[in-house]
Amino acid sequence: MAVNRNFRTCPSTGLVYHEPAEKLIRWNAVAGVVSLLVGGVLALLVTLTRWPAVKLLPPDWFYLVLTAHGLDMLVFWIIFFEIAVLYFAASTLLKCRLATPKVAWVAFWLMIVGAITNNIAVFKGDSSVMFTSYVPMGAHPLFYLGFILFAVGALVACFVFFGTLVVGKAEKTYNGSIPLVTFGAVTAAIIAVFTIAAGAIILIPTFLWSVGLVSHIDSLMYRTVWWAFGHSSQQINVAAHVSVWYAIAAIVFGAKPMSEKVSRGAFVLYILFLQLASAHHLLADPGLTSNWKIFNTSYAMYLAVLASMVHGLTVPGAIEVAQRGKGFNKGLFEWLRKAPWGNPCFSGMFMSLVGFGFLGGISGVMMGTEQLNLIIHNTIYVPGHFHATVVVGTTLAFMALTYFLIPTLFRRELMFPGMAKWQTYVYGLGMMGFSVFMMGAGTLGVPRRHWDMAFSGAALPHEFPGAAYLMMGLMAVSGVLATVGGAMYLVNTVGSVFFGKKIVTPDFKRVPVREGMAPARPPEPAVAPAGHGAIGAGGFVAPGTFVLAMVFLTSFVLYYFVNWKYLSTVWPLK
């Protein structure tokens, strides 16, 4: 069988692209961006409906649009883009051909068909069951079928990724160990495999139930297994966007990991402990014991939290070391002041890091505490938290990466470079405000997934305080701002990919290669492990980052105990 092994070397970055892989990366990224476009329009509709002063949609449309928004953003946009990242991390970074491109196309089309089927089911109007589709509320069978087809496609794509790693190893396209970013991608893919397995365990019976072949599905069993899928899928995002942080630090600054051992060890902690963390969705449920809840959410979850705190230090730490090495060695923060804040690749990545840690991370751990969950569960605080993790964290990191990918992968110049500079700030700050105000409203008890906080038509309505209405109004204004930032991204990426100035290199050619990519480089001479030389202060190579980490820890500790204090004032329960 003839294997297509055409490679090209990107003239500006030196990255090596395998032609079939390149095409797949592009198509998956484009499918992701199209989902983001659909999800973004829906996001605006949701925001304008929850804005008490606007209240745009009637309830049936609101719940339909909210369901579709959750699926298109949280599942289709993110996973399509993640598959692109996986192929990039395997094929491009290892300078290796993609294993079985044909199978990868099958995976792609399965995902497309699944995503479209699922969207059709939702927009038909009889599947407004939300992203979580809790039984016994039922959706149209096509809803589950679309979801399952998409998941099967994603699973196949993960195996194409693993296959590519095997090919790279066998054909010796790189020396020694895989790069850290690829290691992070492996973490994401491993988590994806057991996540999708959990999804299959719950969604296949639910599909059979929806067509009448299974008579009953227990609601608690559903929630328990569904969250093994639903929460773990967010951990794929975490592993993926942390890899993207490392990749951007490497691309923009040439940063190398402070120590490979720590960064890789933290990824391994994700694999080992994240799955258990899904139990924190069940803290307010009957029928599960406190021992079960505490073990799963704390003992195990905090090791995963530890991993995120480690990445939160080592990514900016690596940047600090690289910057100090370049001479920005004055004081604590010269390295940060002199960072390229006008480069959207960096500014997006850095806001993603800060927002994910301060807003998403602290709120997530707080509400994942067994007792504290009582004052948070199912309030709009919860979407406030996950918009900080998944949108500020993952989506913003992916947006930042896009600005790097357009010239190197699509070989087009950015159409509106000036707009790109501002886009990450408009989107990032809008989204951070959106998250914070949702958390504020949630603290005042405003429920999530709720059409009307004024309870119109209820016999015994509840009256929320004015502050809650204010929070929801501010949330909506920030949400509109974020939508503007999202639109700036979409206009720029779609415009550049289709109409941007082509980057033409005079002597560009694709190189056909028979065996592997190129002769393997000779192994480099063993270097004695060395420190980073005379940079930093007080024995620390990255003192600025350490100070930032301590600021983070202080906010974490204060916020955590403020919530305990607040809990101690509510009615005693046991």
Partner 1 sequence: MSAIEPPAQRVWWKQPLDRVEGTWIVIAFAWCMVMFFMMPYWHVYGKQNLSNEAYRSSPEAFLAKAQAMVDKHTVRTVTEQNIPVVHPVPGADVYLVARLWQWWPVLELEEGQTYRLHIMSTDWLHGFSLQPENINIQVHPGYEHVVTLTPTKEGTYSIICNEYCGINHHTMASKLYVVKPKKS
- What SS3 class is residue 357? helix
CA distance 250 to 254: 4
Nearer to partner 1, 13 or 494 (CB): 13
Nearer to partner 1, 68 or 426 (CB): 68
Nearer to partner 1, 155 or 242 (CB): 242
Hey, which residues between 360 and 399 contact partner 1 (CB under 8 A)?
A: 365, 369-371, 374-379
CA distance 255 to 242: 14
Q: Exposed/middle/buried for 459, CB within 10 Å: 0-12, 13-18, 19+?
A: exposed
CA distance 355 to 362: 10
- What SS3 class is residue 181? helix
Do the Cβ atoms of 272 and 303 come closer than 8 Å?
yes
**Residue 317 interacting with partner 1 (CB under 8 A):** yes
Nearer to partner 1, 208 or 567 (CB): 567
Q: Closest separation between CB of residue 316 and partner 1, Å?
A: 11
Binding mask 209-238 for partner 1 (x = CB under 8 A): ---------xxx--x---------------
**Residue 93 interacting with partner 1 (CB under 8 A):** yes
Q: Closest separation between CB of residue 220 and partner 1, Å?
A: 6
Q: What is the largest CA-CA distance in the chain?
A: 79
**Exposure on the CB side of residue 167, measured as CA atoms within 13 A:** 24
Q: Closest separation between CB of residue 203 and partner 1, Å?
A: 17
Q: Which of 249, 274, 406, 517 binds partner 1 (CB under 8 A)?
A: 249
CA distance 541 to 416: 38
Phi and psi at residue 8, in whole multiples of 5°? -135, 150
Q: Closest separation between CB of residue 416 and partner 1, Å?
A: 27
Binding mask 31-70 for partner 1 (x = CB under 8 A): ----------------------------xx--x-------
Nearer to partner 1, 287 or 512 (CB): 287
Amino acid at 568: S
Nearer to partner 1, 141 or 447 (CB): 447
Q: Which of 172, 421, 510, 532 binds partner 1 (CB under 8 A)?
A: 532
Give the other-Cβ count within 10 Å of 258's Cβ: 19
Q: Closest separation between CB of residue 131 and partner 1, Å?
A: 10
Stretch that binds partner 1, among 16-24, 286-294, 407-415, 488-496 (CB under 8 A): 286-294
Nearer to partner 1, 365 or 405 (CB): 365
Nearer to partner 1, 94 or 112 (CB): 94
CA distance 59 to 383: 19
CA distance 475 to 442: 11
* C-alpha distances in Å from residue 569, one per residue of 145, 283, 367: 46, 20, 17
Nearer to partner 1, 159 or 333 (CB): 333
Stretch that binds partner 1, among 44-52, 100-108, 261-269, 420-428 (CB under 8 A): 261-269
Q: Closest separation between CB of residue 491 and partner 1, Å?
A: 29
Q: Closest separation between CB of residue 515 and partner 1, Å?
A: 20
Stretch that binds partner 1, among 342-350, 475-483, 485-493, 533-541 (CB under 8 A): 533-541
Nearer to partner 1, 506 or 572 (CB): 572
Nearer to partner 1, 1 or 573 (CB): 573
Q: Which of 23, 120, 285, 336 binds partner 1 (CB under 8 A)?
A: 285
State which H helix or E strand residue 8 sits in: strand 6-9
Binding mask 103-142 for partner 1 (x = CB under 8 A): ---------------------------x---x-xx-----
Q: Closest separation between CB of residue 300 and partner 1, Å?
A: 10
Do the Cβ atoms of 16 and 517 come closer than 8 Å?
yes
**Residue 336 interacting with partner 1 (CB under 8 A):** no
Count of residues that interact with partner 1, criterion CB under 8 A: 117
* C-alpha distances in Å from residue 485, one per residue of 84, 373, 427, 456: 23, 32, 4, 33
CA distance 455 to 155: 43
CA distance 157 to 323: 37
Instruction: Locate 225 and state its tokens.
Output: 């297994």
Q: Closest separation between CB of residue 560 and partner 1, Å?
A: 7
Q: Which of 17, 77, 174, 346 binds partner 1 (CB under 8 A)?
A: 174
Do the Cβ atoms of 425 and 347 come closer than 8 Å?
yes
Hey, which residues between 423 and 462 contact partner 1 (CB under 8 A)?
A: 443-445, 447-453, 455-462
Q: Closest separation between CB of residue 191 and partner 1, Å?
A: 19
**Residue 324 interacting with partner 1 (CB under 8 A):** no
Do the Cβ atoms of 275 and 194 come closer than 8 Å?
yes
Q: Closest separation between CB of residue 495 and partner 1, Å?
A: 27
**Residue with token string 């960072």:** 339
Residue 392: name the closest of 366, 365, 430 by CA.
Answer: 430
Q: Which of 119, 233, 298, 493 binds partner 1 (CB under 8 A)?
A: 298
Hey, which residues between 536 and 565 contact partner 1 (CB under 8 A)?
A: 536, 539-543, 545-546, 549, 553, 556-557, 560, 564
Stretch that binds partner 1, among 345-353, 355-363, 503-511, 525-533 (CB under 8 A): 525-533
DSSP state of 541: S
Q: Which of 116, 204, 294, 518 binds partner 1 (CB under 8 A)?
A: 294
CA distance 374 to 386: 18
**Residue with token string 């000779």:** 522
Q: Which of 83, 156, 189, 305 binds partner 1 (CB under 8 A)?
A: 305
CA distance 409 to 25: 8
Q: Closest separation between CB of residue 293 and partner 1, Å?
A: 8
Between helix 141-170 and helix 180-210 the angle, nearest 10°, is 150
Residue 52: name the closest of 395, 459, 450 by CA.
Answer: 450
The three state secondary structure string of 135-191 is CCCCCCHHHHHHHHHHHHHHHHHHHHHHHHHHHHHHCCCCCCCCCHHHHHHHHHHHH
